[in-house]
Amino acid sequence: MSWNPLAEARDREDRAIHDRPRTPQAPNVAPVEPAHLTSVAEATDEVQVAVRSRRGAIFLRIAFLAITLIALYILWPGLLTVFESWPELLEVNPGWFVAMLALEAVSFVCIWGLQRIALRTRRWFGVATAQLAANAFSRVVPGGAAAGGALQWRMLTDSGIDGARVATALTAASLISTGTLFMLPLLSVPAALFGRPVPNGLGQAAWMGGGVFLVGFVLGWRLLFHDRLLRRVGRGAQWLRNRMQRGKPPVTDLADRLVVQRDEIRDALGDTWWRALVFALGNWLFDYLALLAAIIAVGSRPRPSLVLLAYSASMVLAMIPITPGGLGFVEAGLTGLLALAGVTAGDAVLAVLAYRLVSFWLPLPAGGVAAVLHRRRYRGRRRGSDAG
């Protein structure tokens, strides 16, 4: 056999590879095939992108926390003024606190009913405990709306409701609830024309609330099923936005976008739209009546229509995702707005404190209890198993 130098060189290379020390393979880790290896440059780029993304997320959280602390520092004097009125709450008739708690309870039941309709489920327990827990969580963390929504999605899917249905339903419920809130100032206009000072009890105030409810239901029905009115509202809001922000490119399609979103909400609600509208209105109006009860409890008698305007503006302030649950913004804004509505400064501070006690602070421990009860009932259940 003739000597082949190329074959001998390949043999030496094969023996060198076979005798090379091997790096111990970690347990439960599949060996990496050469075909799956990327170049060093590509791997380095992927690591750098991941690191930059992580750093960006951390930076945003730190910046958001700093903004929250600055906002609380600026709003602290107003908060302190409200909190200093705690001893004066002892002078308020306890019966008014019972009335405010009852009104707030009905308001919460209404939001549960709205979400239950949007979810198309017959359950009350899972929907109520998830909403209470998410509501409490969103009020203790900065920008908590997103975190609260994620928690509610997790709890509802744990209870057996399909995740896609939860996302669609919560979006529809949020949109119809927010739309109803922005509709309240329109309802205060006819109320202002016929409004009278608040009586000694809640009887006539309740009749006024019933009238506002009826007008709101008719207006909501018109917006859900008639494009012309919705487009007029959209064009008006578009004109106002363009006038206030002249330095930015003008918006030209707001009316069309409102119609598209309205259609999505209507499709999600189906034939139960009228019940959803009733619950959405009830959620805000019973909360408003709780504020009205707090004002009456401290001895003030402003016009209910002006209080409705002040309430609507304060709820918009609560949507500002800087402080948890609008803490500070609502107290300062609502106190000032009630003063414009004819409530004296001292009565406004005390009324806001009583109202926020039952609407903001007491639901926090209730949310913790709801989270525990929800986990006990649905622990270990497979997600997305609910058929209805």
Give 322's DSSP letter: T
Average pLDDT over residues 312-331: 76
Whether residue 4 is predicted with pLDDT greater than 60 in this model: the reply is no
Q: Could you read off the pLDDT of 355-387 as tens digits, one per residue?
A: 999 999 899 999 999 999 999 999 866 555 554
Q: Could you read off the pLDDT of 119-165 as tens digits, one per residue?
A: 989 899 999 999 999 999 988 876 677 788 889 999 999 999 988 88
Q: Could you read off the pLDDT of 234-282 as tens digits, one per residue?
A: 787 778 777 767 777 888 887 888 778 777 777 777 778 889 888 998 9
Q: Identify the burial level of 200 via C-beta atoms within 10 angstroms of its C-beta, where 0-12 means exposed, 13-18 middle and 19 or more buried.
A: exposed
Please count the residues of the chain.
388
What does the pLDDT read at residue 30? 43
Which 3 state secondary structure label does DSSP give 32?
Answer: coil
The closest of 143, 137, 145 to 178, measured between CA atoms, is 145
The conformational region for residue 180 under phi > 0 = left, psi -120 to 50 = alpha, else beta, is alpha
Whether residue 86 is predicted with pLDDT greater than 70 in this model: the reply is yes
DSSP, residue by residue, 122-142? --SHHHHHHHHHHHHHHTTST
What does the pLDDT read at residue 342? 84
Whether residue 46 is predicted with pLDDT greater than 70 in this model: the reply is no
Answer for the pair 347, 298: CB distance below 8 angstroms, yes or no: yes
Exposure letters 347-380 (e unless 16+ CB within 10 A, then b): bbbbbbbbbbbbbbeebeeebeebbeebeeebee
Which 3 state secondary structure label does DSSP give 379?
Answer: coil
The closest of 258, 269, 271 to 165, measured between CA atoms, is 269
Domain boundaries, the chain: 96-378
DSSP, residue by residue, 38-85? PPHHHHHHHHHHHHHHHHHHHHHHHHHHHHHHHHHHHHHHHHHHHHTT
Q: Which residue has the higher pLDDT, 230 or 13?
A: 230
C-alpha to C-alpha distance for 377 and 388, rounded to whole angstroms: 18
* Chain Cα centroid distance, residue 245: 26
Which tokens is 66 given?
């700093």
Q: Considering the chain, what percentage of its residues have pLDDT values greater than 90? A: 23
C-alpha to C-alpha distance for 355 and 296, rounded to whole angstroms: 11
What does the pLDDT read at residue 125? 95
What does the pLDDT read at residue 8? 56
Q: Per-residue confidence at 287, pLDDT binned at 50, 70, 90?
A: very high
44 CB-side CA count, 13 A = 3
Whether residue 194 is predicted with pLDDT greater than 80 in this model: the reply is no
